[in-house]
Structures are given as structure tokens and as C-alpha cells.
Structure 1
Amino acid sequence: MVNNNILIIGITGNGKSALANLLVNTDEFGENNRDISEEDILLRIGEGICSAKEGISQVLFVFGGRFGPEQIAAFNTFKKFISESGITKYTTLIRTNFPSFRDQKSCEEDRQSLLSEDNKDLKETINSCNGIIYVDNPPIPEIDEEDADSDDEEEISRIKEKKQEARKIVLNHLAKNCCQTPYKLKK
């Protein structure tokens, strides 16, 4: 059996925990809103990479909304921290909160709009990665059983269906891209 180790990174509040829960079909991963220093974050990333003895099969860099200066800075900090060329070919950008994720045309239009922006760092980041995946992973609302009606049940059913479609998209991407030799730190 092959172990595929996935590293999920990104800025707080962009959907890392929700993506982890989606991938493993659970709700075990919770948000951690503690303020920790950039140094501590990088240390934890390094520990995660080093603890994966088989290597990292894929890095998922999660961002919500537009890929702006804050995401570029975080991505470049990660890349610089690793300081070995090649980590980006193991990295996929995951855009969360994209309601039109099922529409390939909308996804491609968004990708092209990101690439058409007059931002050299943004273009370099996108082109250096293993692509962009679009998902929408809304939370399932908690509804009091006594107050629940058929509209609530339909809404929950639609959200669950949407989550399963998003899960399938990410898992299919991982199945295609985790076959390569895993990434291992040289140092």
C-alpha cells in the first residue's frame, strides 16, 4: 500500500480545516485561531515535512477569494523556507468559496483573470504550481429538529451533494498527481 502524505497550508480562515474534513469525510479538523508567529508556522511546516518519512505527495495551498498580495507573500515565504527548487511542482492551489466550481468555463475565466492581472509575482506563482482547483465547501447548517421542514432538508441535501462533488474533484486531482515520486527535503 502506498502512503500519500498531503500537506495543507494557507492563511488562517481560508478553509484548510474544512478541506481536510472534506478529504477524509469527517469533521475532526477544527479551526485553530491562535496567533502564532511566522517562525512557529514555518517550524511546524518543516516538522510536518520531516515527519513524513515517505515524503510529501502533494502540497495544497488553500486560498479563499482572490489570490492577493497576502497569499503571494505567504506562498513565497513557504517556497523560500523550503529553499529547494521543485516544491512548487508538488503544489496545487485550491480556491475555496467558489460557488461556480462545477462550471469549467467559470473556473477557466477566473484562472485567466488571475493570470491577466498586472502582477508578475502572481503569474509566477500560478505558473509554477500544479494548477488551480476550484471548490465550494459550505458548512452544513445546524437545524433544530423540531423546527426543521422540507426546505431545510432540501438545503442540507444540496450542500451535501455540493461537498461530495468538490471532494471528488480534489480526490481525482490527487489521484492523478500523487503518482510521482514524493517530495523529500534534502537538508
Structure 2
Amino acid sequence: MKIKQDRKEIENKIRKELIAFNEKIEEIEFLHRQFNVLAVAIISKWTDYTVRVVNYEKEKEEVKKILTKSKRVTGFLNCSEAKEIYEDIKNVFFDNEYLSFQVINLRDSNKKLENRNQELLRSLIKSKQEEININKKIKECKNFAKLETELEDLKKEGIRNILLIGEESKGKSTLANVLCGSEKFHENHHGMRFKEIKVDEFDVEDGRYRVIDTAGISPDCIKNRFRESLSSDLSELTKLIERGINQVFLVIDSGSLPDNKWIEFYRLLNPVIFDDEINDYITVVRTKFPNFKNKESCNIERDLIRSKLRESGIKIPNEKIILVDNPVRDKDTRMYSQRLLRNYLKEHQDIYRPRNLNKLNEIITTGDNEIKKYYTQEESDKIIKQASKVNKVIGGEIIKIGTSTVGLITAILGLAASAASCQIM
């Protein structure tokens, strides 16, 4: 509304400026612009006509005559001549206005193009930066993959191995599941035999543990698994425990200790894989003991187990005998057993590293023909003597071997490998 009023006031000022005494405006055109207003008019002067052009400056609020004296537009012009001149000037005004709009539009277009160019430039810079970042991330990913590998190596170095040893159906696999809090190990409740090595890991505050469980050991298992186990099982086992053993859990149940054949076999293996230091890392785990929460019952049972082991020449102190119960459907009892076992491991952090593993690995890799390179004659004689004892213990049906040192050493190592698949390791 105010704009219309302003225009009306300006147009009135222009009208007053265009006419003099006894003159009359016949026709007028206004061209309103941002900073000024142009006006062209035909003025009647009694007997002639003239054309006048004025400019109104909005900033100064002044009206100035632009065109007042010209032979073509002043003097004695008839109406038709005045009309032609008026139309010419008006058309020039409008053409100029059109061109001004065109110029403005071009300027706007140029501005838009400049803005677009700026946007494209920013996009190009951003794209280049993203490319740099992607290449950087690719490099970081490669480094990360390397770090992951190094981290895994560090984890392997820091992992603590727990070996489960014992006869079939004594609860080793159940014990492994309870320790790891998983169901990876097949719990044998029907007397079935499983021969392959099973491995699982679990993490606690003091580090990571690896539980190694194999099939139950028996004389039949030892005899039947000999040939197929020599390279694969022994190789797998030595890789698993190459960085050491935290604990060897000798698993028994309901007062049924391993028979004399198994104990003798285990004792004879020490010169091949272990040494006397392994005795400090053996812990007897008595499973299927419902009264394991009763201190008095546990002490009585520990004395019984220790006495029986002493008869076989194995000395285990009472504090290295654990009693647990892991019923299949009693989750609370299994969790109690888990806490008991893990607390025990937390208190026994030392690592035992078998000194003979490197030599065994070299033998497996090199083959029977190179065995003599790794054992002195004295060591060979000792192993031959042990092999003879093992042959008597098992029943003389292990394998037909020659009388050579190489053959006897191969037999002993084969027996050790069988033990690996039959739960000696």
C-alpha cells in the first residue's frame, strides 16, 4: 500500500514539473526504476505540441528535465508529428528497460554460474580429500591387518594351555565345557569313543586359557591308533603346547583311578615328551563327586586319592586335588564348579615348557631316516629300554618293529603320538 502511495506522490511531482502555464498533458508514460523514475509526455501548447522527458531521482527527491529544447520536440509540431516523436522516445525507454533487464538477468546468470563453479570446486576439493582419506584408510587397513596378526601372535604367546588327561567316560569333555562356558566338547554319556583332539578357549581377568581335550585313553585305543597318529596327532599337539603348559588335569571319577597300565604308560612317556618338572603342573580333578561343597567329605576323598596315587609312584599333594560335580541339567552346580576351577587356575599361573618339543617337531618334519641326527647313542639306548617296558605293559601287540635304533625310536614316538589322540595329551 505504501509503495502505491509513494508512486502516486512521485508521479504528481513529475506532472507538475512537465507543464507550464496554459499547458496541458495529452499523454504520459512512467518508467519506475529502483533509484529513479523516467517520464515521457506529449504536451499541448494551444496551437502546437511538444514532447518532454523528465527524470526523478528518488535519493534527492528532485525532478529534472532531460529533454525540453529540441527542434524535433519543440516548436510548432502538429499532433501526428508529436505522436511519432513521443512513440519513438517511449520505445527507446522501453527497449532500454528491456535491455537493462537482460543485463540484470545475465548478471544473475553469471552469478549463478560463479556460485555453481564454486560449488563444483568445493566438491572437487572434497572428492580429492575423500580420495586421500580412502587411500589413507586402505593403508591403515593394511597396517591394521598386520597389527591384528601381531595381536594374535601376542595372544598366542600369552595363552595358557590346560591338558585334560584320563580314561574314557570320566567327564573330561563335560569338564572342558564347564571350564570354557561352552558346549563345544561332546559330552559322552553313552560309552561312545571320540578320537579327535578338541580345543576351545575362554577369557578371564587374568588372561586367556586354551583347553585341550582328546579321546579317552585305553590300551586298545593305543594299539589301534598307533600308525595313523604318528605324524598328524603328535604334530597337532606339539603345535598347541609349543609355548608351554599351565596345568595338566588328570581327570578321574567315583574313586576309579587310572589302572596300572595307564599310569605306567604315562610315567614312561616323560623321557620322550616331558621331564620330571611336569609333576609340578599335574592336578587331579575328581569329577562326579556330589559332596564337593562339603569340606570334610572332600578331605576324606583327597586322602584316598593321594594314597592310591602314591602306590603307583605318583606323588600329588592334597592341595593339587580338586573335587567337582558337573550334572548335565544342573546349571547352578556347574557354575559353582566353574568358579572353583577358574579360581584354582588364577592361583597357579606358572608355565611349564617341555624341553623335548623342538626335537620332536624336527623329527616329524624330517622323517624316520633322519632320526639318528637328533639323538645321541646314549639317548637312543635309553629310549630303546623304555620301549621295551612299554611293550610289556601294553601287551606286546603295539607294532612289529626292527631291532635298529631308528625303528625303536620310531615306535616310542608313535606310541607318544597315540597317547596324544588317546587323551594322554
Per the TM superposition, whether the score is higher than 0.5 is yes
2:166 pairs with one of 5, 10, 16: 10
Match for residue 127 of structure 1 among 316, 326, 339 = 316
Where do residues 11-160 of structure 1 align in structure 2 (5 Å cutoff)? 11-30=167-186, 31=188, 33-34=193-194, 37-38=221-222, 40=225, 44=233, 47-68=236-257, 70=259, 72-83=260-271, 84-116=275-307, 120-121=311-312, 124-127=313-316, 131-140=320-329, 159-160=330-331
RMSD: 2.8
- Higher RCO (CA-CA < 8 Å; seq separation 6+): 1
Is this contact kept in 1: 2:285–2:323, CA < 8 A? yes
Whichever residue aligns with residue 100 of structure 1, its letter is: N
SS of corresponding position for 1:182: coil
The structure richer in helix per residue is 2
Superposition TM-score, scaled by structure 1 size: 0.75
**What CA deviation, in whole Å up to 9, does each residue of 1:7-66 have, x standing for no partner?**
111100000100110011011101461576315488646742443221111111111111
Q: Identify, as 1 or 2, the structure richer in strand.
A: 2
TM-score, length basis structure 2: 0.35
User: Per-residue deviation at 1:68?
Assistant: 3.3
- Cα deviation for residue 69 of structure 1 reads 5.2
Separation in 1, partners of 2:234, 2:162: 12
In the superposition, relative to structure 1, how do residues 162 and 128 fare at CA in structure 2: closer, same or farther (>3 Å)? closer
CA shift in 2, pair 1:69/1:11, >3 Å: closer
SS of equivalent to 1:127: coil
Residues 20 and 174 of structure 1: CA distance in aligned 2, closer, same or farther (over 3 Å)? same
Instruction: Tell me how far apart the structure 2 counterparts of residues 127 and 50 of structure 1 sit (CA, whole Å).
Output: 28
Identity of aligned residues (%): 26
Q: State the one-letter code of the partner of 2:162.
A: I
Return 5+ residue gaps in structure 1 as ranges: 141-158
Alpha-carbon distance between aligned partners in 2 of 1:49 and 1:136, rounded to the nearest angstrom: 31
Q: 2: distance between equivalents of 1:129 and 1:55?
A: 24
The structure with the larger Rg is 2
Runs of 5+ in structure 2 lacking a partner?
1-154, 196-219, 360-425
Secondary structure, counterpart of 1:113 in structure 2:
helix
Decide whether the 8 Å contact of 2:285 with 2:321 is kept in 1: yes
Q: How far did residue 125 of structure 1 move?
A: 2.0
2:350 is the counterpart of 1:162: no
The change in CA–CA distance for 1:45 and 1:165 in structure 2 (over 3 A counts) is: farther
How far apart, in 1, do the equivalents of 2:249 and 2:282 lie?
Answer: 6
State the aligned residue count.
Answer: 165
- Relative to structure 1, the CA distance from residue 130 to residue 60 in structure 2 (aligned partners, 3 Å threshold; closer, same or farther) is farther
